[in-house]
Amino acid sequence: MLFCVRMDVSIPRDLDPAEREDTVARERAYSQELQRSGEWAHIWRIVGLYSNISIFDVDSNARLHEILSNLPLFPYMSIEVTALTEHPSAI
């Protein structure tokens, strides 16, 4: 099942720089692992923002929540989820 997820990141200025660097690195690794497994189908940067628009392809709502709530940057994100389905005009 497909979902469009928009993530807007806002890391607090006073986060310890080492923790910041580590969190961002873990976020990247986590995202890439899910991209390889196919569950994180697409990720694009929004121009001019520290934000992304992503497409997830997961087995259930529960799995999507598990993925999103375990994002290393989850505490610093606002997230918007839109349920998608196949479009009748898609080829």
How far is it, in rounded angstroms, from Cα 36 to Cα 22? Answer: 21
Query: Does position 81 bind a second copy by CB under 8 A?
Result: yes
Which residue among 3, 16, 17, 70 contacts a second copy (CB under 8 A)? Answer: 3
19 is an interface residue for a second copy by CB under 8 A: no
13: DSSP letter: T
Q: Under rule CB under 8 A, which residues in 21-80 are in contact with a second copy? A: 27-28, 31-32, 35-36, 42-50, 52-53, 55, 60-62, 64-65, 68-69, 75, 79-80
Exposure string of 15-25, with b = 16+ CB inside 10 Å and e = fewer, is: eeeeebeebee
The least CB distance from residue 28 to a second copy, in Å, is: 5
Burial call 54-82: b when 16+ CB within 10 Å, e when fewer: bebebeeeeebeebbeebbbeebbeeeee
Residues that bind a second copy (CB under 8 A): 1-5, 12-13, 27-28, 31-32, 35-36, 42-50, 52-53, 55, 60-62, 64-65, 68-69, 75, 79-91
